[in-house]
Amino acid sequence: MCDACGCDLKPEEHSHDSKIIEVHQSLFAANTAMAKKNRAHFDKMGAVVINMISSPGSGKTTLLEKTIEAIGDTIRIGVIEGDIETERDAERIRKKGVPVIQLTTGGACHLDAAQIHKGIHLLEREEGGTELDLLFIENVGNLVCPATFDLGEHHRLVMVSVPEGPDKPGKYPKAFHSSQLFIISKTDLLPYFDFLVEDATRDALQLNPDLQVMDLSATSGEGMEQWLAYLKKVCGK
């Protein structure tokens, strides 16, 4: 008996590759369709949506906190937080006084468009996030799976922190191919790590020449002006 599907053929007598491909195609087609609906919803709201992807601990939540502190009084900001478990990131953002919803995947390594569809309605209904200029989606910490799933965002940001090392563009090319902005974070730690900003920038631009690159430290404030100017520009402020 075949362990994969329970049929009477021996495993070597047939292949399940075609079935696997069909399932994958179906899943991605459904996600793409939902992402299109999400984008239409965001456009109707008048909100610019930025999907933030990075490895765990790159500083996404800290960057959001500092961003809200800097421009939250002039740009209406909302946040959808994605994590495998806990509400910790949402609790941090909630303290800044902006609408936020936490989506816990229970083990999945990424958010998908259906989860975002649910999240935006929760944000509007439960958190008062009906009038937003800017919506951040902080994806699950992972540079692999989130790069594959369109959520309906207008912009995708990939972040790499100095302690992670400069080799991430070469190791995770799809994250850089599919993004519009690359942020090198925690630059206040450059004196303590073997990280050359020029190397990471060069490798990222070789993969995606249209990528906009910024290096900053949300902790020290260095480079934040460029990031805030970018946000104001995409929001038309």
Residues 6+ apart with CB under 8 A from 102: 81, 83, 87, 89, 90
Q: What is the greatest pairwise CA distance in the chain?
A: 66
- The C-alpha atoms of residue 51 and residue 124 are separated, in whole angstroms, by 18
The reported pLDDT for the residue numbered 6 is: 46
Q: Cβ distance 111 to 149 under 8 Å? A: yes
Q: Cβ distance 118 to 127 under 8 Å? A: no
**Architecture of domain 47-234 in this structure:** 3-Layer(aba) Sandwich (3.40)
Q: In this structure, what token pair is assigned to residue 236?
A: 């038309």
pLDDT greater than 70 at residue 119: yes
Average pLDDT over residues 46-63: 97
Average pLDDT over residues 63-68: 98
pTM: 0.88
The reported pLDDT for the residue numbered 106 is: 87
Q: Following DSSP, what letter does each residue of 57-95 receive, concatenated? A: TSSHHHHHHHHHHHHTTTS-EEEEEEESS-SHHHHHHHT
Domain boundary assignment for the chain: 47-234
The reported pLDDT for the residue numbered 215 is: 98
**Residue 225 vs residue 127, higher pLDDT:** 225
The reported pLDDT for the residue numbered 5 is: 43
pLDDT tens sequence across 155-190: 999 999 999 999 999 999 999 999 999 999 999 999
pLDDT greater than 80 at residue 8: no
The reported pLDDT for the residue numbered 129 is: 82
- The C-alpha atoms of residue 111 and residue 89 are separated, in whole angstroms, by 15
pLDDT greater than 80 at residue 1: no
- The C-alpha atoms of residue 183 and residue 161 are separated, in whole angstroms, by 8
Residues 6+ apart with CB under 8 A from 191: none
pLDDT tens sequence across 102-118: 999 988 899 999 999 99
